[in-house]
Every structure is written in C-alpha cells, then in structure tokens.
Chains A and B, each alone.
Chain A
Amino acid sequence: MSSPIVSITAPANPVEDFLRTDRMPHIWCPGCGIGTTVNCFTRALLESNTDLNKLSIVSGIGCTGRVAGYTNLDSFHTTHGRAIPFATGLKLASPDMTVVVYSGDGDLFAIGGNHLIHAARRNIDLKVICVNNLTYAMTGGQTGPATPLDVITATAPYGTYDPAFNLPYLVEAAGAVFVARWTTFHVKQLARSMAEMFKKKGFCFIEVVSPCPTLYQRRNKMGDGLDTMKFYKEMSKTKHGAPTNEVGLTKSGEIIVGKFVDRERPDFATMMNAHLQHELGDQYIQAEGPVCG
C-alpha cells in the first residue's frame, strides 16, 4: 500500500458559504462592480454575525437583480421594480426576518420609484442596497434615471440632456433613516456600512457607485474596470454627514461618499403596533408571523 498522499486543499474562501457555488460562473462582465458589492455584502454578514436563517434577500430585474440568485440565502428574484413591495409583504408577514433589497438604479428609481418613496415614507424596516452603474446594463446600456448629463448611451447617441436623480437626496427626503454612498473602490467602508445598516431599524439605503465597463465606460471612453477604480480613487471624497442636496453625481466630477443620514424614526411596524394597541387595548392581537396550517 502506498503511503497516504498529503492532501492539499485550497483554504476555502470565507465568502463561499454565502454563495450558491453550484450556480457559478455568474453572468457579470469582467470589470463589473456588482460582484465586488456581493463580496462586501458577505463580509458584512460575517462581521455582523447575522443569523442567515433570519435573513432574506429580494431583488428586482437587471444585472444587480441577479444577486439574489447567487446568494445561498432565502432569495427572491421578483419582477421589474417591485422588489420593495414584495419585501414589504415579506417583512410584515415575517417580522423577525431581516429583509435586504438588492437591486439596481433603473429598477429601484425608475420603474420602481413609486414603491421606493412610499416604503421610505412608511419607514418599512428594509435594508436597500442600490448598485448604481448609471445605466440599464442588462438591456444594453440605455439611459436610466441616474444617468448623468452629457453621457452617451444606447438611447442617447448624441448625449443625455435629462437631469438625473440624486439618489441620497431623494431617499432622505422620502424618509429614510440611514443613507450612505460608497463606490466599489471603497470595499472596506462599504462592508462596514452594510454591517452597520443590518443593525439599524427602519428604511435604510446604501448607494454603491459601480462601473459598467462593457457599456457605460466603453461608450464614454472612460476605460476599463481598472481605470474606473483609479477614477473612483482620485475623484471620491469622504464627507460623512454631507448635505444630500450637494452630493449629486456628474459624468466626471467629484464623488462625495460617506454616511450622509443616520437618524431615529419609529418604523412602520412599531408605529402600527403602538397605535393599534393604544386604540384597541386588549382587543388588539398583534400579527406574529407565519400562521397558516
């Protein structure tokens, strides 16, 4: 008998447990930032010791919409723009669940814009991660609600002329209790910010500015993924508490990053329970999660 061969196994990547490795390779392009954000997300889950059986992830449609499908969590890939109302139902039916909404700028702010502002207004306890690649990437790089002025897109061949939303400003105005922005260059800060958000109750929002080298960067001659990292490094300025009306993005200008908003406001369920308890007294029976069969 031959002597046993020393087995050499590569140390498992600590994020592997969080991923459906049987679904790899993923669909994202080389240089795309979405995978980087997922790495930060898994590190935030590790860091925050979140009970993974009590965490669900809900995505809409688009490149970022595919995140739910790659995470080894209870995961829901919903319809275009509707991740937030799906997540609202899930959260209300399952109050102990941490519900993360992970989607893109087009999904959350154009087709899903109405749902986003109303969930923020109600302060539904959702953790929203918006990967902002400034375009509709899945469909080929058309103009989106976050596309800055004067950039070339598939549907703006002569450049854009409709102003973009300033995402943190809009979300703060609508009522979010936690608003931050990072780029995919800021991996440590982003992971920490996500971990912080998991512990915060109420409607929380993190914008992650992220490259789409295949469509946005290429059409606008902004280089590849690495060039975009250099651009983010050079142009980003951390300004915690910056007034959100001053953080709008432009094509090649400064990118203000940091935690802009962190305030206290009772969330929807807290308001509902307190109010109904006050009005109905002993008659009030609080919904306590799954009840059928």
Chain B
Amino acid sequence: MHADPVGVLTGAHFLDGDHAACEGAIAAGARFSAGYPITPSTEVVERFSHRAPKIGATFIQMEDELAASIAILGAVWGGVKAFTVTSGPGFSLMMEHIGYAAMTETPCVFIDVQRGGPSTGLPTLPAQADMMQVKWGSHGDYEIIALCPNSPQECFDLTIKAFNFSEQYRVPVFVMMDEVVGHMTEKVVIPRAEEIEVEPRRWTTQDKSSFQLFAPCGEEQTPEMAKAGDGYQVHVTGLTHDERGYPNMTPAVQDRMVRRLVSKIRDNAEKICLTEQHDIEGADVVVVSYGITSRVAQRAVETARAEGLKVGSLRLITAWPFPEHIIRAIAPKVKGIVVAELNLGQMVREVERCAGGQCRIAHVGHAGGTVHKPEQILKAIQEVAR
C-alpha cells in the first residue's frame, strides 16, 4: 500500500538526519511515539511532538527509557505503528524491551543515534560502537534487523524501510544512526505519498476460534497479527509460549519457538541485506564500511584508485542480519578486506568470521568523538594491496 498523504511532506527540504528520520517514521505510518530525552537523538521526538497533533498521532514523554521502550509496544498491540528514539545510555536501558519485542513478535522501530561510550561517554560526539549491542544486547537467542543510514536522505528512506521490515517479519528493527549523520544537514527529497511503499500490518482474517497469534505463515515464517479489541482474546507473554501464546516450559516448545524467532530472519537474510557495492569485480582490496564512515571511506577509495590500486567498496546498509553471503563470495577473490568503523572492532568480527581466513583482514578502528581521516583508511588499503 502507499503512504497516507496526511503525514507526507512532499518536496525538497534542507533537513538534518534526526529530523529526516522523524519524517520517515511519519511517512511510514507511525502514529505513536514515546520518548525520553537524550543527546544526540532528542530532535527526532521534538519534531514528532510538534507534528503529532496535526496528523492524528500521539506523543508522550515518559519517565525513563524503560518506560518509553515498552509504551511503544503497548501502543502497537493497541493497533498503531510506533517507534522510540535514543542514544547509548538510553539504549542500554531499552535492552529489556528489545528482548520482549523479539519474544512477543511485536513490530516496532528503535532509532539509535550513536554517541561515544562506554557509559555517559561523549554525549555530543559520534561513534558506531552500539553495533554489537544492537545484535546481542538483550539476553537469550533472537534476531533483529539493523539498518545504517549515511545521510539525512537515507535517514528518511531507511526509517520507512525499517517500519516495512518490522511489519513484514514482526520484529524490532533498528535505525543505527550516529551523531554526525543525525546532525548533518543536507537536501532531503520526500516523494509524493503514492510513490512511498508502506507495508501494512498483517491483520489476520482467520476464524476467531482457531486463530493462533504465534503460528508462522508464509515464507517469512511470521505470524499474522490481531490487536486488543478485535475479539481474538490474544494472550501475549514474554515467557516461552506455544503457537496460541500460552506459556509452556518444555524444552520442545522452547526449541521450536526460539528456532523460528531466529530462522525467520536468518532464512530471509538475503532479502533483508541491503548493500551498496562498487568495483568489487576484479578488486584486490575491498573496503567495508557503514554509516558516516562510508563517506570518509569513499574518499580513501577514490584516492587509492587514482593511484592505480584495484580497490572496491562494500557499504553495509543492512548491518544485521549480516550479509554473510557477500563476504563469503568476496573473500576468496581478493588480497584483503579493509574494515573501517567508529569502534575498536565490532563488525570486523563478522567480516573475519565470514572470510574464514581466505584473505587478509585489516581493521581501521577509531574510539569515536570524530570521524576517521581518509588517510587512515587509505594507509590500510595501501598496506593490504602491497
């Protein structure tokens, strides 16, 4: 279906990433947000609080991130699309409900505008150091989807994508921004509503007496939804549950449930993995990056190519599920892979795992606070190409 024109500010705008992400959420159909202020993400909900009353949406500022992250889940079961926004310290508090959302298969979107950590860290300065936390931060086995915009335009586009994936797979989806992308201002083009594809919630039409809220359907292995008030008397629990949603403490049901929570994403990973690839065919070196770092890496790659080096680039738009198949295809054909990221070694571990020792892996880490210098990445390219 197409976006509801009520929420869509069609036209060319000059927006920062935070504001663009808010517009993306609205265009995707979000009509509820609960937030707790935290730098550098607050602008997203500030804008939403301004826009909400004029588009039939609700914003509530909660008492903390624990509350914000579960208020959105309550709203989803009430029938709306909902999201929340945070940064590192708040993201740590939200882990509880990321697990609950994954367990209860509640479609929702979290936007994390990453800043330097650990702890209070660098509130106003960038990092990309929540990349493993977003995947592994809540306890237990589960899968999520995480997208990494590198511009305000992508903050808009990928937030819509995030909502669409969340509905398609009934899974929490994360827009992993960083302080620079969140605060940089660029041209953002918002298409007409009829040009924006929006995934509707998959409301069930099954018979009330036989419908099962957690019985998988289709190749997405994802159950259909019913909301409170539909007459289905749904039961939703964070306990291990059977297809009816009833608690069941047996290893057999645990095995069936957790395997499906994981396989619905892993089995569909190739459809979910979005990347931008340049000059990988015939390359000696491939530079892997994501988010703001991809824009610095681009300069390094261009310089290296001008020097005659055979360098390609792979930008992870989807970080999770990790595009394993792409790394597995590249690794045997290149001398090495350079991974640049604003942390001291997170996504590089995935690259190493998938490369399986078939090529050299060089990591260009950074503790955060600013972005890399292109020369740092260039130096790594030159070393690996040698």
Which A residues fall within an 8 A CB radius of B?
A: 20, 22-23, 53-54, 56, 58, 68-69, 72-79, 81-82, 85-94, 96-97, 114-115, 118, 272, 276, 280, 283-293
Interface flag for B70 (CB, 8 Å): yes
Which of B64, B75, B235 makes the CB contact (< 8 A) with A68?
A: B235
A91 to B78, CA, bound (A): 7
Chain A residues, Cβ within 8 Å of B230: 53
Chain A residues, Cβ within 8 Å of B202: 293
- Do B237 and A89 touch (CB < 8 A)? no
9 A-B residue pairs with Cβ-Cβ distance under 8 Å, sorted by A, are A74-B234, A75-B234, A79-B96, A79-B238, A89-B74, A93-B74, A287-B58, A291-B31, A291-B80
- Do B54 and A79 touch (CB < 8 A)? no
Chain A interface helix/strand/loop/mixed: mixed
B52-86 interface (Cβ within 8 A of A) = 52-58, 60, 62-64, 66-68, 70-82
- Do B239 and A92 touch (CB < 8 A)? no
- Do B82 and A93 touch (CB < 8 A)? yes
B89-125 toward A: CB 8 Å interface, digit per residue (1/0)?
Answer: 0000000110010000000000000000000000000
- Do A293 and B1 touch (CB < 8 A)? yes
Closest to A96 in B: B229
**Which of B6, B31, B96, B202 counts the most A-chain CB atoms under 10 A from its CB?**
B31
Closest to B57 in A: A287
Interface flag for B201 (CB, 8 Å): yes
**Which of B32, B199, B230 counts the most A-chain CB atoms under 10 A from its CB?**
B32
Chain B residues, Cβ within 8 Å of A292: 29, 31, 79-81, 200-201
Which of A97, A115, A285 makes the CB contact (< 8 A) with B228?
A: A97
Chain B residues, Cβ within 8 Å of A73: 233
A91 to B56, CA, bound (A): 15
With A86-B70, A93-B79, A284-B53 as contacts: A74 and B62 at CB distance below 8 Å = no
Which of B64, B79, B234, B236 makes the CB contact (< 8 A) with A114?
A: B64
Chain B residues, Cβ within 8 Å of A53: 229-231
* Closest beta carbon of chain B to A283's beta carbon, Å: 5
A276 to B34, CA, bound (A): 17
- Do A79 and B97 touch (CB < 8 A)? yes
Which B residues fall within an 8 A CB radius of A?
A: 1, 6, 29, 31-32, 34, 52-58, 60, 62-64, 66-68, 70-82, 96-97, 100, 167, 199-203, 227-239, 246-247
Chain B residues, Cβ within 8 Å of A283: 53-54
Chain B residues, Cβ within 8 Å of A54: 229
* Closest beta carbon of chain B to A234's beta carbon, Å: 38
**Which of B228, B230, B237 counts the most A-chain CB atoms under 10 A from its CB?**
B228
A53 to B1, CA, bound (A): 28
- Do A287 and B228 touch (CB < 8 A)? no
Which of A92, A118, A284 makes the CB contact (< 8 A) with B63?
A: A118
Q: Number of A-B pairs whose CB atoms are under 8 Å?
A: 180
Chain B interface helix/strand/loop/mixed: mixed
A280 to B49, CA, bound (A): 13
Chain B residues, Cβ within 8 Å of A81: 66
Which of A58, A77, A280, A291 makes the CB contact (< 8 A) with B56?
A: A291
Which of B57, B66, B81 makes the CB contact (< 8 A) with A82?
A: B66
- Do A87 and B54 touch (CB < 8 A)? no
Closest to A59 in B: B237
- Do A75 and B31 touch (CB < 8 A)? no
* Closest beta carbon of chain A to B193's beta carbon, Å: 15
Which of B34, B68, B228 makes the CB contact (< 8 A) with A94?
A: B228
Chain A residues, Cβ within 8 Å of B70: 78-79, 82, 85-86, 89
Chain A residues, Cβ within 8 Å of B228: 56, 74, 76, 90, 94, 97
- Do A280 and B53 touch (CB < 8 A)? yes
With A291-B80, A293-B1 as contacts: A86 and B74 at CB distance below 8 Å = yes
- Do B80 and A88 touch (CB < 8 A)? no
With A54-B229, A291-B29 as contacts: A85 and B74 at CB distance below 8 Å = yes
Q: Which 4 A-B pairs have the closest CB atoms?
A: A290-B79, A293-B200, A89-B74, A93-B78
Which of B53, B54, B75 makes the CB contact (< 8 A) with A92?
A: B75
* Closest beta carbon of chain B to A277's beta carbon, Å: 9
Chain B residues, Cβ within 8 Å of A88: 34, 60, 62, 67, 71, 74
A87 to B53, CA, bound (A): 21
* Closest beta carbon of chain B to A281's beta carbon, Å: 11
**Which of B72, B97, B237 counts the most A-chain CB atoms under 10 A from its CB?**
B237
Chain B residues, Cβ within 8 Å of A78: 70, 73, 100, 238
Chain A residues, Cβ within 8 Å of B73: 78, 86, 89
Closest to B237 in A: A77
- Do B66 and A93 touch (CB < 8 A)? no
With A77-B238, A79-B70, A114-B63 as contacts: A280 and B78 at CB distance below 8 Å = no
- Do B74 and A285 touch (CB < 8 A)? no
* Closest beta carbon of chain B to A192's beta carbon, Å: 26
- Do A77 and B236 touch (CB < 8 A)? yes
Chain B residues, Cβ within 8 Å of A114: 63-64, 67
Closest to B235 in A: A75
- Do B229 and A94 touch (CB < 8 A)? yes
Which of B60, B64, B74 makes the CB contact (< 8 A) with A58?
A: B74
- Do A89 and B56 touch (CB < 8 A)? no
Chain A residues, Cβ within 8 Å of B66: 81-82, 85, 115
A42 to B165, CA, bound (A): 40
* Closest beta carbon of chain A to B8's beta carbon, Å: 15
A272 to B58, CA, bound (A): 10
With A74-B229, A78-B100, A85-B74 as contacts: A293 and B60 at CB distance below 8 Å = no
Closest to A51 in B: B229
- Do A291 and B233 touch (CB < 8 A)? no
* Closest beta carbon of chain A to B353's beta carbon, Å: 32
* Closest beta carbon of chain A to B346's beta carbon, Å: 27
A289 to B57, CA, bound (A): 9
Chain B residues, Cβ within 8 Å of A290: 78-80, 227, 229
- Do B235 and A285 touch (CB < 8 A)? no
Chain B residues, Cβ within 8 Å of A284: 53-54
